Amino acid sequence: MAKEKVCILGSGNWGSAIARIAALNVKKHSDTFEEEITMYVHEEEVDGKPLSSIINEKHENIKYLSGVQLGSNVKAEPDPIKAIKGATALIIVIPHQFVEKILEGMKEHLSPGVRAVSLIKGVKAEGDKIHTYPGIISSLLGIRCSALGGANIATEVAQDQFCESTLGIPPEGMKSDDKNSLSDADLWFKLFDTPTFRIRIVPDVDGVALCGGLKNVIALAAGFSDGLGWGSNTKSAIIRIGIMEIKDFCVHFFPKVKAETFLEESCGLADILTSCISGRNRKVAENMVKTGKGFQELEKEELGGQSLQGPQTTEQLHKFLDARRDEVRRSNGFPLIENVWKICYEGMPPEKLIEGL
């Protein structure tokens, strides 16, 4: 069996944390993987030097995950086409707004039999269609794409604190049809599972991608509740209603998605919980209520110009629901998603969050 060659596309805080885990596991499973991992790094100058050179010298991403050794077998590469050369296993962890730009034109440079796993949060709505990133990657590159998600704050993962993660595999990747290669499930499990980073596998790639994509809508709602000084009963009710609504949305519009992924897995229940307790979408939403400022203004003040996922996702969902309004009218609708959108974009008073729930 030829060895698998791993490439990580992306080098932010989560990309770096997962590079560290992959770098340990390729050494552990040296019969399965080539030892060297390449990591595509969007080049920038840090302290007057290119970030990729710093990573290759210090084995540390001093800008996005400082203080953490990535492993000397991680090689940073600023050219994405060079980075994927020879790779058979692509870990894609690029901010969602850059995915198409970076992957475009990559198809002809791919190795035969290459597979991908997406760690990207978010969904993309276009008119009356809605897409997950594993779906977008699959169709852009013409390859099979899995998804990884979970309650996985990068800095805690980098410190080997115990946590869980969910691996969503397309049904056809659960078992290998070729005796000479690993199934997708076996490949990604071997690459990611450690004693403190526990992987559970579900045959539901879209479900895993959607959980991470949609959770921040609930986190905004939880933040509004906190900002209003509402108590623990109310916040718990909002989280429960949010989980059920997101689950219903996904099961309705992606009929192959499994409800259990939302209700029972780390990428669902546990990640939503973390985001509603300590995520930054929650925090900004709380401050929207307390200060009366809009999220755009707070993004600038609190996130140094970085953008929040929650409002964007809410906007995507709203546009999609509008395009499918006739269909939505026939169901109970999605009042929590719609109320969060109205508070973010229409100036609805946050006190009305629970109206129609």
Read out DSSP for 261-330? Answer: HHHHSIIIIIHHHHHHHH-HHHHHHHHHHHH---HHHHHHHHHTT---HHHHHHHHHHHHHHHTHHHHHT
Backbone dihedral angles phi then psi of residue 258, each to the nearest 5 degrees: -100, 130
Q: In whole angstroms, give the CA distance from residue 28 to residue 33.
A: 9
**φ/ψ of residue 218, rounded to 5:** -70, -40
**Token pair for residue 288?**
């929207």
CB of 54 to its own copies, least distance (A): 27
Choice between 274 and 281, CB closer to its own copies: 274
Does the annotation flag 85 for ligand binding? Answer: no
User: Coil, strand or helix: which one is 66?
Assistant: coil
The answer to the question of residue 161 lying near its own copies (CB under 8 A) is yes
**138 is an interface residue for its own copies by CB under 8 A:** no
- The residue range among 20-28, 33-41, 148-156, 312-320 that interacts with its own copies, by the rule CB under 8 A, is 148-156
Closer to its own copies at the Cβ: 174 or 241?
241
Q: How far is the CB of 341 from its own copies (least distance, A)?
A: 20
Q: Which of 46, 62, 174, 244 binds its own copies (CB under 8 A)?
A: 244
- The neighbour count for residue 111, using CB atoms within 10 Å, is 14
Binding its own copies (rule: CB under 8 A), the pick from 7, 120, 157, 187 is: 157
Using the rule CB under 8 A, which residue among 26, 90, 182, 239 binds its own copies?
239
Cβ atoms 40, 216 nearer than 8 A: no
Instruction: Give the residue from 241, 235, 222, 220 showing the smallest Cα distance to 313.
Output: 220
Confirm whether residue 231 is marked as ligand binding: no
Q: Does 130 bind its own copies (CB under 8 A)?
A: no
Determine if 352 is a binding residue for its own copies (CB under 8 A): no
**Quick check: 194 binds its own copies (CB under 8 A)?**
no
237 is a contact residue toward its own copies (CB under 8 A): yes
Under the binding rule (CB under 8 A), the answer on residue 160 touching its own copies is no
30 binds its own copies (CB under 8 A): no
If binding is defined by CB under 8 A, does position 1 make contact with its own copies? no
335-345 vs 205-227: helix axis angle to the nearest 10?
60
CA distance 348 to 344: 8
Q: Is 229 left (phi over 0), alpha (psi -120 to 50) or beta?
A: left
- DSSP conformation class of 98: G
Q: Within 246-275, which residues bind its own copies (CB under 8 A)?
A: 263-266, 269-271, 273-274
Total residues at the site for its own copies (CB under 8 A)?
Answer: 35
For its own copies, which residue of 90, 91, 187, 354 counts as binding (CB under 8 A)? 354
Let me know if 215 is a catalytic residue: yes
Contact between residue 317 and residue 249 where contact means Cβ atoms under 8 Å apart: yes
Is 233 marked within a binding site? no
181 is in an annotated binding site: no
Alpha helices (H) in the chain, listed in sequence order: 13-28, 51-58, 80-83, 99-103, 133-141, 154-158, 184-192, 205-227, 232-253, 259-264, 271-278, 280-291, 295-303, 309-323, 325-329, 335-345
- Residue the block writes with tokens 């809605």: 130
**Which residue, among 279, 217, 277, 220, has the nearest Cα to 249 in the 3D structure?**
217
Site map for its own copies, 197-226, x if CB under 8 A?
-x----------------------------
Among candidate residues 190, 215, 235, 283, the one labeled active-site is 215
**280 known member of a binding site:** yes
- Position 281 contacts its own copies (CB under 8 A): no
Binding site, residues? 10-15, 98, 121, 154, 280-281, 309
Catalytic residues: 215
Binding-site residues for substrate, in ranges, read 121, 280-281
Residues that bind its own copies (CB under 8 A): 150-153, 156-157, 161-164, 198, 230-234, 236-237, 239-241, 243-244, 263-266, 269-271, 273-274, 277-278, 354
Known binding-site positions for NAD(+): 10-15, 98, 154, 280, 309
